[in-house]
């Protein structure tokens, strides 16, 4: 059987998975909503991946995990590699675009910028405080305008005079948007203004003080929005590359990192019928009072973390 590699990216809004062969070809992939339940999301994700995966021909021998819930999910799936989002996105992107110098990434609730030199990430910045430059902002404004978020891009490209929307923060942007609606501005101009506001907020916050050099690759769920892509290209004065699998790049990078690692462990999709739950335990062993997170599989403790000294260690 041919050896292949699984990558999982669990974020606050979405959970992504990709299975790659040794040539980095995607054999199976899935993208679902996390819905505040990373354990349930990863079990659903694994089930979807299994449906399109040829288990007779391939065998998963290493698993990489990244994202905000990487430690928890890494324990559940028996990951052989657990890495932060910056590393996973940089590795995934530079694998397919070796000359990339700037990576723009906008997700559902956060965003990041990664600067690359000679294929190595040398600087980065993240924004988790203001939603005006993220997918959740676009989604809420689409609902306010009575359209589907997937339709924003095509509306924005129809505009010839984008409306100026305040981009300083979510509150100002939403207030300004309501005002422009009440003033009777054309819908396509308002939507184009929203896309420009997202790009401007990102560059003024996440990209502040960063030297953005071409080639530029844009990824994350918002990269699928043609209106935001056009806004970035106009503001940066260069082409912005959008990969068709850019929304999966964190998971792809995690799979590549797993392949490069030295640890091998077969993944057989068996977690679907297994019950997992977590519990926080407050340690009173010292003045730190650490909150130790314990993960249980079918009622048995399998891992724990959060302690800052040996007194808080919980043995599985």
Q: Do domains 2-91+251-273 and 98-242 have the same CATH topology?
A: yes
Task: Work out the pLDDT band at 144, boundaries 50, 70, 90.
Answer: confident
Query: Per-residue pLDDT tens for 34-49?
Result: 888 888 999 999 999 9
Q: Of 226-230, 269-273, 278-282, where does the model show the most confidence?
A: 226-230
Find out whether 18 and 42 touch, Cβ atoms under 8 Å.
no
Fold of 98-242: Nucleotidyltransferase; domain 5 (3.30.420)
Domain 2-91+251-273 adopts which CATH fold?
A: Nucleotidyltransferase; domain 5 (3.30.420)
pLDDT in tens, 49-103: 999 999 999 999 999 999 888 988 999 999 999 999 999 999 999 999 999 999 9
How distant, in Å, are the alpha carbons of 35, 117, 198 from that of 195? 25, 29, 5
Residue 262 has pLDDT above 90, yes or no: yes
Question: How does DSSP classify residue 247?
Answer: G
pLDDT reading at 24 higher than 70:
yes
- Where do we find the tokens 């940089």? 90
Report d(CA 80, CA 63) in Å as an integer. 5
* Cα dihedral sign, 34-36-38-44: negative
Q: Domain locations in the chain? A: 2-91+251-273, 98-242, 276-312
Question: Of 105, 237, 133, whose CA–CA distance to 194 is shortest?
Answer: 133
Contact 107, 68 (CB under 8 A): no
Identify the pLDDT of residue 175.
82
């Amino acid at each position: 059987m041919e050896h292949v590699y699984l990558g999982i990216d669990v974020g606050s809004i979405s959970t992504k998975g990709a299975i790659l062969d040794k040539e980095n070809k995607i054999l199976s992939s899935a993208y679902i909503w996390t819905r505040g339940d990373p354990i349930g999301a990863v079990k659903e994700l694994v089930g979807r991946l299994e449906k399109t995966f040829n288990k007779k021909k391939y065998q998963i021998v290493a698993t990489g995990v990244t994202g905000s819930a990487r430690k928890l999910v890494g324990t559940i799936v028996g990951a052989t590699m657990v890495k932060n989002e910056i590393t996973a996105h940089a590795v995934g992107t530079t694998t397919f675009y070796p000359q990339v110098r700037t990576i723009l990434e906008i997700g559902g609730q956060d965003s990041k910028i990664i600067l690359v030199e000679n294929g190595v990430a040398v600087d980065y910045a993240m924004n988790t405080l203001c939603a005006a430059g993220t997918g959740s902002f676009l989604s809420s404004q689409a609902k306010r305008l009575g359209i589907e978020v997937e339709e924003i891009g095509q509306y924005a490209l129809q505009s010839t005079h984008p409306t100026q929307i305040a981009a300083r923060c979510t509150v100002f942007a939403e207030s300004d948007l309501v005002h422009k609606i009440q003033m009777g501005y054309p819908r396509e101009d308002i939507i184009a203004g929203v896309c420009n506001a997202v790009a401007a907020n990102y560059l003024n916050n996440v990209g502040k003080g960063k030297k953005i050099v071409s080639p530029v690759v844009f990824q994350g769920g918002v990269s699928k929005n043609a209106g935001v892509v056009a806004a970035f290209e106009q503001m940066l004065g260069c082409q912005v590359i959008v990969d068709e699998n850019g929304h999966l790049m964190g998971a792809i990078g995690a799979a590549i990192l797993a392949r490069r690692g030295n640890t091998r462990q077969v993944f057989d999709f068996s977690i679907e019928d297994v019950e997992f739950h977590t519990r926080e335990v407050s340690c009173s062993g010292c003045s730190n009072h650490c909150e130790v997170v314990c993960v249980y599989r079918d009622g048995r403790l399998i891992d724990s973390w959060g302690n800052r000294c040996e007194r808080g260690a919980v043995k599985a």
